[in-house]
Structure 1
């Protein structure tokens, strides 16, 4: 005979405490960045955590926006250009490759998949020196084309992995029906399979865009300062290295750099989650 419970089970306080701890860890740096953007040098040094409403000013932020040298706003255009070009090339290459891998049962095709996955375990910084030698050998050293080629190669492994997982959830009977109607494999992919991959494609575009926007090592090393090309992150580094003791220039430039990507991530986070989970269970 079952015994009815005499009371509610007490929940462990560990999870709420961990969530509170993570919230504080992630919120405090953002708070410091935003508040100190609108303070004077003296206020930043003496009371970085304070929020003096009477003394806040937008002057330093406007100076950073109008700065003629190492302007982060100018870096927006070049960084956005990189994001768009790399995303388009990555989709054009990763899509057909993932389709071929997902629809093949041959052992060598699965080995190709493992080859692509191996690229996700190699730190990007460890590849910079070999990449420089390769780009020099093909005449693309210190060029925008060389940086784009590097970024496309760096984004392919994860993109192919996500695409393969999603395509395998799409019934193969769709491919067979298209072939009966006379469509080739490429036409079947681009006209039928690719439109069905929208959640995975959106996820790949978001992850790649954020990664390229935040990348510092690749553009800093593969594009020398003499090229005159600055991404958002390299423009910050150039400006901060020159004004390292002037915090009224450091904080506004940092805020200008991270604000677009933070807003973009918050707005698109539901698409990231849905895209990462939609191919997890086949149904």
Structure 2
């Protein structure tokens, strides 16, 4: 689930950030403000409406009920962050690519995408951590089919009415951090350059 959210949010955010940065169209500023306002809304305030929405679409007890909300909440941050990276690429570079015969698609994926890749890594880390540690959506939308639940939900088995198994809780929590550590090790160089570029911008 986390991998799906990371890949989908990165690709959609890259295309959206490129569109709002490179193209001039009506309501562009309004759209950017809407992305910003979306980050100000607490997740808890939308949990109940999302529950009814997922119920009406028949997505309860499915991974779709977890992927779609996380994708929606991670996209505004990713678009705003990637917008700075796309804006930092000189327009002269794009014009030179077109003069050399490159199509818009080729410029997008072979020139622009590698240049903003550190920013994609930085936003992907944010998406991965929030999705991996999800408890609220899993508790709200996964009602009966626990096989579709997240790892934080699995910690509930260690909580008993009379006594909690703190040893099991700590052991399971440690195991849960291993994929996160592996992910950080794989992307640490790109992450540092990505965060540095975001701060500089």
1: CA distance, partners of 2:176 / 2:146: 21
Quick one: which of 125, 128, 149 aligns to 2:47?
128
- After superposition, residues 193-208 of structure 1 pair within 5 angstroms as 193-208=112-127
CA distance in 1, matches of 2:101, 2:57: 41
Residue in structure 1 matched with residue 7 of structure 2 by the alignment: 88
Superposition deviation, residue 166 in structure 1? 0.6
Alpha-carbon shift at residue 165 of structure 1 (Å): 0.7
Unmatched 5+ stretches in structure 1: 1-81
CA drift of 1:171 comes to 0.5
Quote how far apart the aligned CAs of 1:102 are. Answer: 1.2
User: 1:273, CA displacement in angstroms?
Assistant: 3.9
Query: Alignment partner of 1:245: what SS?
Result: coil
Which of the residues 157, 161, 180 maps onto 2:76?
Answer: 157
Aligned residue pairs, count = 201
* Counterpart in the other structure of 2:29: 110
Q: Check the 8 A contact 2:118/2:193 in 1, yes or no.
A: yes
Shift of 1:181: 4.2
Which protein has the larger Cα radius of gyration, Structure 1 or Structure 2? Answer: 1
Gaps of 5+ in 2: none
Alignment CA distance shift 1:203-1:177 (3 Å): same
Match of 2:88 in 1: 169
Deviations 1:134-156 (A, max 9, x none): 22232323211222111111110
Q: TM-score, normalised by structure 1?
A: 0.63
Higher mean C-alpha displacement, 181-190 vs 263-272: 263-272
Contact 1:162 1:276 in 2 (8 A): no
